[in-house]
Amino acid sequence: MTKHLHDTHFHLDLQKDKRGEIENIAKNEIYTIAMTNLPDLYQKEVLLYGQKYIRIALGFHPELIHEYPNKIPVMWKHLAEARYIGEVGLDFTDKSHVKEQIAFFSELIARCKNDSNKIISIHSRGAENEILEIIGTNFKFTPILHWYSGTMGNLRKVCDRGYYFSANSSMIRTKRFAQMLEYIPNDKVLLETDSPFTSNKISHVESLNIVNDFLESHGIDSWENFLKLIGA
């Protein structure tokens, strides 16, 4: 099979030029998992933007849960039909709403725990211990740690539990990421951009190529990893 680029964490809903980005994805054949930050965007984006190269994920960003508690039932309404889940997780940068985040994420994991079809992109900033505790060791879904920034001790734990990791162009510039690659299995590394939150000075395809070339220089075939992830 021909190798392609892929992006496991891309915010289509936050792009200034959505149509232009969609055309770029199709032109460059970038297999893209598009995050949503609120669950009511999911169905709309599936209808508007879902196509061969774009899969829409059902998400509820942790920093928004306390602002939109009325949208939690919408998340549960669409959960059964959605294979891709994201962006979800915990963010303890501001600890004012930890309780609400933990309650929602715990319920989400409980509902997905035995679903081997689910692929979940997880935000874990400042909350890696809690993420590990809530998910535990007995789960059937596939977790992807997006832009991991936790401790090396927790890194070893999630590697032992079979998590995937998605890497972007900002991550690979750091000494820390080089250290992480010493522990992450080669078959568990994927591409992401987290666009538009990474550099907007380069294009989508350029950003992915930078990361892909870096990973290839370390013997990592991220395309094969992506195919394994989606069961292709």
Q: What pLDDT score does 212 carry?
A: 97
In a 3-state reduction of DSSP, which class is residue 102?
Answer: helix
168 CB-near residues (< 8 Å, 6+ apart): 9, 147, 191, 192, 193, 194, 198, 207, 211
CB distance 225 to 178 below 8 Å: no
The predicted pLDDT at position 199 comes to 65
Mean per-residue pLDDT pooled into runs of 10, the chain (232 residues): 91 93 96 97 92 96 98 98 98 95 98 98 97 98 96 96 97 93 97 87 92 97 98 84
> pTM of this prediction?
0.96
Question: Which DSSP category does 37 fall into?
Answer: S
What is the pLDDT, as a whole number, of residue 50? 83
**pLDDT value of residue 201:** 76
Peptide bond connecting 87 to the previous residue in cis, omega within 30 degrees of 0: yes
pLDDT at 202: 86
Strand 164-167's sheet: what is its strand order? 84-89, 119-123, 142-146, 164-167, 189-191
CATH placement of domain 6-230: 3.20.20.140
Contact (Cβ atoms closer than 8 angstroms) between residue 119 and residue 141: yes
Name the E strands within 76-188.
Answer: 84-89, 119-123, 142-146, 164-167
